[in-house]
Amino acid sequence: MSDTPTEKPSNRPSPVIVLVAPQMGENIGMVARAMANFGLSELRLVAPRDGWPNDKATAAASRATHVVEAAAVFDDLRAAIADLNFVFATTARERDGFKPVRGPVEAARTLRAQAAGGYRAGILFGREKFGLDNDEISLADEIVTFPVDPAYASLNVAQAVLLMAYEWRKAGLERETDIPFTGPQTVAAPKEELHGLFGHLEAALDTRGYFRPLAKKAKMVDKVRAVLTRPGFTMGEIKVLRGIVSSLDYFSPKEPRGAGYPLRKAEVDKQAHPARRAEDAGEGSDD
């Protein structure tokens, strides 16, 4: 995979985003930001409620002010889409069923096909409160809707634009799975290095009395190896792990080698106080 996602070479126009009667400048600004995230730049506003230009839209757009500043304002929807060849209308509600309905993935591919044919396309988004009315939808060629939870189907207009802009962008990549950057390319260490780690760790654990009872050692070794073979360690990672084991092996704790697990506190106390051991055994009692 390449380090950066590349769109298929094209000078074809991207779809126009048309907001019908948007109410809040902040929402317009967030729409502009969503557009810029995925390479869209042409924004059209139909009768914005609070007028235009709008300082709140500019502030909400962050660094997408170029989209806000270039936005075109129209008095009615017919004028806003007059020069377009194909138009999608977005809606979360089922309408009369007289137009084809697409999901965002299929709609984005349709938009790419329109652009490939040299046609101009647009996507209509409605008001924050109730979206597009039926008369407005009747001016579109097809409907696009999103597979949201029916129990809460309402999307903020900027969210809806973001979803369509994302699908448009993805549909134009050489591969739809391309992403801007990837993790490091790692190569698993040769098995002999992993086997060396096995032997090193098992010897250290054996010295510390880890494998108890001895009859279960083979099964315990299998489990340790299963844990270590799962990640696919690199050479560098194996060196780190062996360094850890060597450090633990060299700098021995208070218990001597081969002593097994540290004794419980009660056992330590008994060893430190012979009289207490005798009392526990019933020795030295007057009874």
- What the block records as the tokens of 80 is 């806003």
**For residues 100 and 140, is the Cβ–Cβ distance under 8 A?**
no
pLDDT over 70, % of the chain: 80
- Dist CA 236 CA 249 (whole Å): 20
pLDDT at 275: 53
pLDDT at 203: 87
The three-class DSSP label of residue 125 is strand
pLDDT at 5: 47
pLDDT at 241: 87
Domain ranges in the chain are 16-171, 191-280
By mean pLDDT, which of 171-180, 185-194, 276-285 is the weakest?
A: 276-285
pLDDT mean over 61-87: 96
Is the pLDDT assigned to residue 112 strictly greater than 90? yes
Is the pLDDT assigned to residue 192 strictly greater than 60? yes
Assign 268 a pLDDT band (cuts: 50, 70, 90).
very low
**For residues 37 and 214, is the Cβ–Cβ distance under 8 A?**
no
SS3 content of the chain, % helix, strand, coil (to 5): 45, 10, 45
Is the pLDDT assigned to residue 139 strictly greater than 50? yes
- Dist CA 15 CA 114 (whole Å): 9
pLDDT at 107: 96
pLDDT mean over 14-31: 96
In CATH, the architecture of 16-171 is 3-Layer(aba) Sandwich (3.40)
pLDDT at 255: 53
Q: Which residues contact 6 (CB under 8 A, 6 or more apart)?
A: 173, 174, 178
Is the pLDDT assigned to residue 180 strictly greater than 70? no
pLDDT at 93: 84
* 241, containing H or E segment: helix 235-250
Q: Which long-range contacts (CB under 8 A, 24 or more apart) does 151-159 make?
A: 153/92, 153/93, 154/92, 155/92, 156/27, 156/30, 156/128, 157/19, 157/22, 157/27, 157/31, 157/125, 157/126, 157/128, 158/27, 158/30, 158/31, 158/33, 158/34, 159/34
Query: If you ran DSSP here, which 8-state letter would residue 8 be given?
Result: P
AA letter at 201: L
Looking at the DSSP bridge assignments, the partners of residue 16 are 122
Q: Which residue has the tokens 């020069």?
A: 83
By mean pLDDT, which of 3-17, 153-167, 222-236 is the weakest?
A: 3-17
